[in-house]
Structure 1
């Protein structure tokens, strides 16, 4: 096991309530109002919530019904993803003026490695401050930042002084910073894992650090080594500018629940059309087709089939998706249907194979300045 940390200067930039903030920026009448992007009071799921709505407990991934119950004055707006992508591209151009080592995680957050940077600025904290100011001046939105020696600590730190703030965790502060945190704040520790840790008497980073790697591997299998290392601030993953896409998908939430496979067949066709467009845009194909069903009781079910060849053609995807649809009876009425492709041909060893179309059935040493 490699217990030697590699120190870099990493910045994690996270836009503040990005989708909601864009809507409030573009629509002055929405400023200062509790706002939810996506969903509505009778259907759907909230994609993002403004800080005014968050005060009432409204969160992303919450049903619109529950959000409206928590905040009766909540305003719902439809998402405009093309607009969000446009702004995200503008922000990314700002990042690239400082370093080519930019790893986007989504439209609203990214890692930057500024160990060596285009501005020759030795202070990662000052770079983060300058980037945040430029985003506000040139785009009109606020962003928060975390600055530290690796991606793991930087990501946690970016949430520390939200919104419109930043926090630097210096090399000599990393372990004490992590020791004081609730384990549910650790990136990579989900709700279920956090509950299991609580049951084992692990409540803080300090508690986690007291456990041996053998103990953690016994209770958390292969993730045990990861938890052992991050409790000590060890996370040597590099910032990767070209992150490999692992899946491409599309889905629809219906205004009314559908209880018949016949009605779902029509939805499969429209979703497959959208999926094909996304595959063509990414210039990739995949072997594993997955059908996702979310039932009226919010339970999830996935059905998958792996083919012996790569596909990107909507007709082939539709054929397999229909086969999966009738694989077994529906458990309940369906509120959401999704299709996705996995096992993609964007890995280096797979790129030589063409997709089937319908016509063919050192440790870095430096002074960490602030």
Structure 2
């Protein structure tokens, strides 16, 4: 059990620790809400409690946005096609998403975080990093802070959260998955390197299925295997990611929790119930996506220069087309104009369009003279 000790500068038995770049050991908490969207739906609808629930649409082209733990027992998970989910779990109950409600609950949770530390880095509506090395409550133990935050979330929202506590962001995020749902796990400086060595690389945050498969072909299946490869080998096979893999294999991650973390892009996409072949229908669908993207940018005082159009065809092949403007896009109409210029050349189409997406990137704050609003993901 790694839950008994605290990631202090020295643990209670005088164990050797790993200092951060600033010469001290950070205390990082990663909070992750449990099956967030589905749990909100079960909280608000008594009839859904204890039953397999999927947030999404049951149509043939629908996709699961979130699944309750009852549904996960059947192998249902987010991003799974609705048809597949229903086949795995015939009693699965689909409910439409209510993102306004999820955002409101996320703001409640964020307000709790803010009572303990100003160093909060949201990753999405349902998870965030907190640096509590120096905290507003003057509490010494990060584990006590994490437990108190989890208790507050449960009392104020009637939802459960899991927490990971460690001396860096990489390990804190991994730790939060160890005792889900409604649990907490601590990885101390003494245990960090050994914990990583025993962990399958496919469970590393930042190692996706394709990278995990590539590592497996190279004989890398665990953290220990990764640690055994030198830096030049990792750079040769993984390029810019090589140094990252080299250091995390040793339990080292010097990234700071950044409360002013700026999104690099914001996008929206939609999968259609029936394939689209007509340009006017495509433009109408694109306009809805543009409205969502622009609303986020407007609410958060963001502007971007690069517009990217994503098109997925009926045979699941896809293309992207991008255009970078000389100055930040200034209005929804300008965003629509650029997206339209990217859309027009693909017509007439030889096959149906299954999905359209639009993304605005190279983001910056519209008014550098004002303090940026801390944004949560769409």
TM-score, normalised with respect to structure 2: 0.88
C-alpha distance in structure 1 between counterparts of 2:363 and 2:155, whole Å: 40
1:155 has 2:173 as partner: yes
Unaligned runs of 5+ in 2: 1-17, 370-378
Within 5 Å, give how 1:277-296 maps onto structure 2.
Answer: 277-296=295-314
Q: Counterpart of 1:66?
A: 84
1:213 has 2:256 as partner: no
1:332 has 2:360 as partner: no
1:302 has 2:336 as partner: no
Q: Counterpart of 2:134?
A: 116
1:81 has 2:99 as partner: yes
* Shift, 1:223, TM fit: 0.6
C-alpha distance in structure 1 between counterparts of 2:143 and 2:299, whole Å: 36
C-alpha distance in structure 2 between counterparts of 1:292 and 1:133, whole Å: 42
Residues 130 and 342 of structure 1, relative CA distance in 2, 3 Å threshold: same
Residue 276 of structure 1 contacts residue 312 of structure 1 at CA under 8 Å; is this kept in 2?
Answer: no
Within 5 Å, give how 1:255-294 maps onto structure 2.
Answer: 255-294=273-312
Q: Counterpart of 2:213?
A: 195
- Per-residue CA deviation, residues 19-46 of structure 1 (Å, 9 max, x unaligned), is 0000000000000111110131422211
1:341 has 2:343 as partner: no
1:49 has 2:67 as partner: yes
TM-score, normalised with respect to structure 1: 0.90
- Per-residue CA deviation, residues 45-72 of structure 1 (Å, 9 max, x unaligned), is 1110000110111110111111111111
Equivalenced residues, count? 348
RMSD across aligned positions (CA): 1.7
C-alpha distance in structure 2 between counterparts of 1:39 and 1:295, whole Å: 20
- Per-residue CA deviation, residues 225-258 of structure 1 (Å, 9 max, x unaligned), is 1100000011000111111021122333322221
C-alpha distance in structure 2 between counterparts of 1:205 and 1:237, whole Å: 20
Residue 290 of structure 1 contacts residue 304 of structure 1 at CA under 8 Å; is this kept in 2?
Answer: yes
* Shift, 1:133, TM fit: 1.1
Unaligned runs of 5+ in 1: 353-370
- Picking from 149, 164, 183, the partner of 1:131 is 149
Residue 200 of structure 2 contacts residue 221 of structure 2 at CA under 8 Å; is this kept in 1?
Answer: yes
1:235 has 2:253 as partner: yes
C-alpha distance in structure 2 between counterparts of 1:295 and 1:97, whole Å: 48
- Per-residue CA deviation, residues 323-347 of structure 1 (Å, 9 max, x unaligned), is 2112235463122212121112339
Residues 207 and 331 of structure 1, relative CA distance in 2, 3 Å threshold: farther
Residue 39 of structure 1 contacts residue 63 of structure 1 at CA under 8 Å; is this kept in 2?
Answer: no
* Shift, 1:351, TM fit: 4.3
- Picking from 115, 118, 121, the partner of 1:97 is 115
Residue 213 of structure 1 contacts residue 225 of structure 1 at CA under 8 Å; is this kept in 2?
Answer: yes
SS in 2 for 1:207: helix
Residues 183 and 264 of structure 1, relative CA distance in 2, 3 Å threshold: same
Residues 327 and 4 of structure 1, relative CA distance in 2, 3 Å threshold: farther
SS in 2 for 1:177: helix
- Per-residue CA deviation, residues 187-212 of structure 1 (Å, 9 max, x unaligned), is 11111000010001101001101110
SS in 2 for 1:290: strand
Q: Counterpart of 2:269?
A: 251
C-alpha distance in structure 2 between counterparts of 1:107 and 1:309, whole Å: 30
C-alpha distance in structure 1 between counterparts of 2:20 and 2:31, whole Å: 22
SS in 2 for 1:322: helix
* Shift, 1:4, TM fit: 6.7
SS in 2 for 1:233: coil
C-alpha distance in structure 2 between counterparts of 1:331 and 1:291, whole Å: 18
Residues 37 and 31 of structure 1, relative CA distance in 2, 3 Å threshold: same
1:186 has 2:226 as partner: no
1:17 has 2:39 as partner: no
Residue 59 of structure 2 contacts residue 273 of structure 2 at CA under 8 Å; is this kept in 1?
Answer: no
SS in 1 for 2:158: coil
Within 5 Å, give how 1:342-357 maps onto structure 2.
Answer: 342-346=361-365, 351=368
C-alpha distance in structure 1 between counterparts of 2:368 and 2:117, whole Å: 29
Q: Counterpart of 2:4?
A: none
Residues 263 and 130 of structure 1, relative CA distance in 2, 3 Å threshold: same
